[in-house]
Structure 1
Amino acid sequence: MAWRATLEERRCANGHFGQNCIFQCHCFKNANCDDVTGRCSSGCAEGWSGETCQRRNIVFNMPASVSGNIAERGVTTDGDVTTCITSRPNRTGRWMIDLQVKQTVYSMRIRAGNVSVRTWGLYVSDFQDSLFWSVPCTMLRYDSNETSFTCDKPVAGRYVGIMNLHKPITVCEVEIFTCADYTFGKEDCNSRCRCFETLEVCDHVFGTCTSGCQRGYAGSDCQQACNGTYGRNCVHRCGRCRGGEACDTSTGECRNGCGTGWAGPTCHAKCPIGTYGENCSETCGHCLEGTSCFPTNGTCVKGCASRWKGPKCDRSCDFGEYGENCAISCGHCISNTGCDSQHGRCVAGCEPGWEGVFCTVECMPGRYGPDCNKTCGKCLHPPCDRHNGSCGTGGCLQGWSGATCHHSCDMSYYGANCDFKCGHCADAAQCDPTNGTCPFGCEPGWHGGKCDHTCLDGTWGENCSETCGLCHRNEACNPATGLCDDGCFVGYSGTYCNVEKEFFDLSSALVMPVMVVSATIVFCNLCLLFTCLVFKWRRDEKQIPRPRPNTEALLNLEAE
Structure 2
Amino acid sequence: MDAMDGILNTLFCCTLLCLTHGHVANGCSISGYYGENCSFPCPQNCRDGLCDSRDGTCLICIAGYTGPRCEEACKDNTYGEGCVRACGNCKNREPCDHVNGSCPNGCAPGYQGVTCDTGCLITEYGMNCPVLCSNNCIGMCSHVTGHCEAGCQAGWRGPTCDTKCDGGRYGRNCSEICGGCHGNEQCNHIDGTCPNGCNRGYSGDRCTQSKDFNLFKNSLALGHPFVDQSSRHDPESIAVFCFAALLFTSFVLILVMLVKLRRSRIQENGPMQGNNEEEIYKIKSHAFTFATSPIDFNYKKNLI
Normalised to the residue count of structure 1, the TM-score between the two structures is: 0.34
**Is the 1:262–1:280 Cα contact (8 Å) retained in structure 2?**
no
Q: Displacement, 1:426?
A: 1.2
Q: Does 1:287 align with 2:46?
A: yes
Q: Which residue pairs with 1:408 in the alignment?
A: 164
Q: Which residue pairs with 1:341 in the alignment?
A: 98
Q: Displacement, 1:399?
A: 1.5
- AA at the equivalent of 1:516: D
Q: Which residue pairs with 2:123 in the alignment?
A: 366
Q: Which residue pairs with 1:387 in the alignment?
A: 144
Counterpart-to-counterpart distance in 1, 2:77 and 2:26: 44
Q: Displacement, 1:277?
A: 5.0
Higher relative contact order (CA 8 A, sep 6+): 2
**Is the 1:368–1:386 Cα contact (8 Å) retained in structure 2?**
yes
**Is the 1:425–1:431 Cα contact (8 Å) retained in structure 2?**
yes
The 1:308–1:486 alpha-carbon spacing in structure 2 relative to 1, beyond 3 Å, is same
**Is the 1:339–1:347 Cα contact (8 Å) retained in structure 2?**
yes
The 5 Å alignment of 1:156-555 reads 270=28, 272-276=30-34, 283-285=41-43, 286-288=45-47, 290-301=48-59, 303-392=60-149, 394-410=150-166, 412-452=168-208, 454-455=210-211, 479-480=230-231, 484=237, 512-513=293-294, 516-519=296-299
Counterpart-to-counterpart distance in 2, 1:281 and 1:410: 83
Count of residues paired in the alignment: 214
- AA at the equivalent of 1:354: Y
Q: Displacement, 1:481?
A: 8.4
Matched-pair identity in %: 34
Q: 3-state DSSP class of the match of 2:92?
A: helix
The 1:453–1:485 alpha-carbon spacing in structure 2 relative to 1, beyond 3 Å, is farther
Counterpart-to-counterpart distance in 2, 1:359 and 1:328: 13
**Is the 2:27–2:35 Cα contact (8 Å) retained in structure 1?**
no
Counterpart-to-counterpart distance in 2, 1:268 and 1:455: 107
Deviation by residue 1:184-215 (Cα, 9 ceiling, x = unmatched): xxxxxxxxxxxxxxxxxxxxxxxxxxxxxxxx
Deviation by residue 1:198-250 (Cα, 9 ceiling, x = unmatched): xxxxxxxxxxxxxxxxxxxxxxxxxxxxxxxxxxxxxxxxxxxxxxxxxxxxx
Show structure 2 runs of 5+ residues with no match: 1-21, 214-228, 242-291
Show structure 1 runs of 5+ residues with no match: 1-260, 458-477, 489-510, 527-560
The 1:417–1:349 alpha-carbon spacing in structure 2 relative to 1, beyond 3 Å, is farther
**Is the 2:133–2:140 Cα contact (8 Å) retained in structure 1?**
yes
Q: 3-state DSSP class of the match of 1:447?
A: coil
Deviation by residue 1:438-458 (Cα, 9 ceiling, x = unmatched): 12221113334433454579x
Q: 3-state DSSP class of the match of 1:335?
A: helix
- Report the structure, 1 or 2, having the larger strand content: 1
Counterpart-to-counterpart distance in 2, 1:455 and 1:338: 67
Q: Displacement, 1:419?
A: 4.2
- AA at the equivalent of 1:321: T
Counterpart-to-counterpart distance in 2, 1:414 and 1:456: 19
**Is the 2:42–2:49 Cα contact (8 Å) retained in structure 1?**
no
- AA at the equivalent of 1:376: C
Counterpart-to-counterpart distance in 2, 1:324 and 1:311: 14
**Is the 1:380–1:391 Cα contact (8 Å) retained in structure 2?**
yes
Q: Which residue pairs with 1:246 in the alignment?
A: none
Counterpart-to-counterpart distance in 1, 2:42 and 2:185: 81
The 1:358–1:482 alpha-carbon spacing in structure 2 relative to 1, beyond 3 Å, is same
Q: Which residue pairs with 1:252 in the alignment?
A: none
The 1:455–1:441 alpha-carbon spacing in structure 2 relative to 1, beyond 3 Å, is farther
Q: Displacement, 1:295?
A: 1.8
- AA at the equivalent of 1:422: C
Counterpart-to-counterpart distance in 2, 1:364 and 1:342: 27
RMSD: 3.5
Counterpart-to-counterpart distance in 2, 1:424 and 1:486: 26
The 1:409–1:277 alpha-carbon spacing in structure 2 relative to 1, beyond 3 Å, is farther
Q: 3-state DSSP class of the match of 2:101?
A: coil
- AA at the equivalent of 2:161: C
Q: Displacement, 1:268?
A: 5.5
Deviation by residue 1:121-156 (Cα, 9 ceiling, x = unmatched): xxxxxxxxxxxxxxxxxxxxxxxxxxxxxxxxxxxx
**Is the 1:262–1:269 Cα contact (8 Å) retained in structure 2?**
yes
Deviation by residue 1:396-438 (Cα, 9 ceiling, x = unmatched): 1112121211222346332234344433211444311112111
- Report the structure, 1 or 2, having the larger helix content: 2
- AA at the equivalent of 2:199: E
Q: Displacement, 1:351?
A: 1.2
Q: Displacement, 1:395?
A: 2.0
**Is the 2:111–2:119 Cα contact (8 Å) retained in structure 1?**
yes
Normalised to the residue count of structure 2, the TM-score between the two structures is: 0.58
Counterpart-to-counterpart distance in 2, 1:327 and 1:485: 85
Deviation by residue 1:42-82 (Cα, 9 ceiling, x = unmatched): xxxxxxxxxxxxxxxxxxxxxxxxxxxxxxxxxxxxxxxxx
The 1:333–1:281 alpha-carbon spacing in structure 2 relative to 1, beyond 3 Å, is same
The 1:423–1:456 alpha-carbon spacing in structure 2 relative to 1, beyond 3 Å, is closer
The 1:336–1:383 alpha-carbon spacing in structure 2 relative to 1, beyond 3 Å, is same
Counterpart-to-counterpart distance in 1, 2:38 and 2:97: 33
Q: Displacement, 1:486?
A: 5.3
Counterpart-to-counterpart distance in 2, 1:314 and 1:271: 24
Counterpart-to-counterpart distance in 2, 1:456 and 1:343: 71
**Is the 1:412–1:430 Cα contact (8 Å) retained in structure 2?**
yes
**Is the 1:455–1:479 Cα contact (8 Å) retained in structure 2?**
no
